[in-house]
Amino acid sequence: MASTAKSPSRPVRTIQSVDRAIAIVQALSREPSGLKLSALAGRVGLAAQTVQGLVRTLQAHGWVEQGRRGEAYAMGPALHALASQWSRGLDRAQAAAPLLKDLSSRIGEYVLLAEFRARRLVPLVEVAPQRELTVSPTVETAGRLHTLATARVLLAHADAAEQKAVVATMGFEPAGPNAITDRKAFLRQLALTRKRGYALCLDESSEGCAAMAVPARDSQGAVVAALGIAVPRVRFAKRRRAQLLAELGSTVRGIAAVWRC
């Protein structure tokens, strides 16, 4: 009988300078009052000259700060901002989860609340119904972003530079029979999505699958997430599309209300 044991995973190749910069940030995270250069160099096991070059780069990006020359280095405001953003994402997910569960229960379909982080689509809340013939798209697959209604909504409302950067990385891999395979055509769809206020995908992620999504806004009116559903085409007649869009609109208004609290 053949062995079912898994072979050891191959080690991940990393970049030395990035590893060292991360080690510096981790060392400073354990010292709220900061560390002077010599102490920091000793903590990470590097020459002071090497550490000085790295912390200058980290300073330029706001990840490390220093009061005056010769004083201790400490974690910078950029890291605090990133931590706050991550924490807000968790808070948003917890606040919105009951509303998504209610929506999925009412319509009997898969529901997703997602956001972009580091130019990747990240699920905040997913709810799958307990019924036969359901659709649950693979959100994490970067090569299929062009087929996802939630990604389309977020890109449609992103600033021009962010939109351009993300679209430039998309390979438009073949998926469903109606999947967009041309960048210019995709950009036209983004413009249409922004104009009409929702995204609609029919047989794009796979044959027989439909998806619809609307923007979710924070208290300042900025689009920070997208609320979407995935539905088998057999349950997506034109009459029901209007009903589902109304359900999405009602739910996203409820999400905005709880996010303001």
Answer whether 0.85 is exceeded by the pTM. no
In a domain, 54, yes or no: yes
For the four alpha carbons of 50, 51, 52 and 58, in that order, the dihedral sign comes to: positive
In a domain, 3, yes or no: no
Summarised one tens digit per residue, pLDDT across range 100-133 is: 999 999 999 999 999 988 778 888 999 998 876 6
Residues 237 and 174 in one domain: yes
Summarised one tens digit per residue, pLDDT across range 71-105 is: 999 988 877 666 655 555 568 888 999 999 999 99
Candidates 186, 108, 203; CA nearest to 145 is 186
| CATH classification at residue 56 | 1.10.10.10
Residues 71 and 101 in one domain: no
Residues 101 and 204 in one domain: yes
Residues 29 and 128 in one domain: no
Give pLDDT, residue 44.
Answer: 93
Residue found under tokens 């019924």: 131
Residues 131 and 35 in one domain: no
Residues 63 and 181 in one domain: no
Residues 176 and 234 in one domain: yes
* Domain count along the chain: 2
Residue 143 structural domain: 85-260
Give pLDDT, residue 5.
Answer: 40
Give pLDDT, residue 72.
Answer: 92
Any idea of the CA torsion for 19, 24, 30, 32, to the nearest 10 degrees?
-150
* Contact (Cβ atoms closer than 8 angstroms) between residue 199 and residue 213: yes
Residues 62 and 147 in one domain: no
**140 membership: H or E segment, kind and range:** none
Candidates 109, 100, 101, 99; CA nearest to 134 is 109
The sheet with strand 199-202 has its strands ordered as 120-127, 110-117, 223-232, 209-217, 199-202
pLDDT band, very low/low/confident/very high, at 9 (cuts 50, 70, 90): very low
* Contact (Cβ atoms closer than 8 angstroms) between residue 60 and residue 78: no
Summarised one tens digit per residue, pLDDT across range 155-177 is: 999 999 999 989 988 888 888 99
* Contact (Cβ atoms closer than 8 angstroms) between residue 107 and residue 100: no
Residues 63 and 103 in one domain: no
Residues 67 and 89 in one domain: no
